[in-house]
Amino acid sequence: MLFTKMLKLGLVLVFLTGTVAFAQADTGPVEMVFYSDLSLDIPFQDVYIETTDGMVKRPEPSDPLSSLFQPVYSVPFDNPADIFVPPFDAGPYKMGDPLGFTLSDWLAARGTGTYTVSGDRANLAVAFKNLVPKGVYTLWCVETNMTTYNMVDDPCGALNGSENSFAADEKGNASFTLEMDALPPSTPEKIYTVGLAYHSDGHTHGAEPGEFGHNVHVQLVYDFLPPAS
């Protein structure tokens, strides 16, 4: 399915940082280090902090340090405008439900893993810490067309979303292993990404991620980028 909300940060990172990592068939494991919004000089996505007028906005790198200790909120479905390419809209938006943690808690999440390809199959083994304790999570495999800026999102593993979900433990730790169809190697025209999404409603939604900023929140991302030319 085509969409323009899921995992836009992967595309932004291509332009801003040029991370050097790419999938390659029948090689040793690709070492994965996931990144979050904190890595990018743009408004953060999918979680929101309160403004002085009782609305909410996307946190921004220019916000005071004290904003890290503010509670974060969801928004009503489809309230925010997409963040895809500049200019970036930070809000304000209508306030949704409190998510039960602070911005600092959200940005503390870390993830590493390996991705190993053999023929047309791949083994994805990832580990995360500082996630939402007992939070429900899913992994998404995303293709970004760099010519049209369209993104195609599929659950990692089975396309019905039956293999891509897991829960963090009471300390926010989680590990997950999946054998899946190998992603095509990234090229300058098409970039492949793995994204970690938190489901604040406690439910997964099968082949669909959910409603961004409302009940699904992308927390960490890893990009497979083509080799530098």
pLDDT digits 0-9 by tens, 132-170? 999 999 999 999 898 887 888 899 999 999 999 999 999
The 10s digit of each residue's pLDDT in 165-200 is 999 999 999 999 999 999 999 999 999 999 999 999
Q: What is the mean pLDDT of residues 5-17?
A: 40
How far apart are the C-alpha atoms of 185 and 200, rounded to whole Å? 32
- List beta partners, residue 192: 143, 224
Higher pLDDT, 9 or 49: 49
Q: Where do the domains of the chain lie, and which CATH numbers do they carry? A: 2-42+109-224 (2.60.40)
* pLDDT greater than 80 at residue 13: no
How far apart are the C-alpha atoms of 97 and 92, rounded to whole Å? 15
Q: What is the per-residue pLDDT for 229?
A: 63
* pLDDT greater than 80 at residue 127: yes
Q: What is the per-residue pLDDT for 37?
A: 85
* pLDDT greater than 50 at residue 10: no
Q: What is the per-residue pLDDT for 115?
A: 97
Name which of 22-26, 39-43, 175-179 the model is least confident about: 22-26
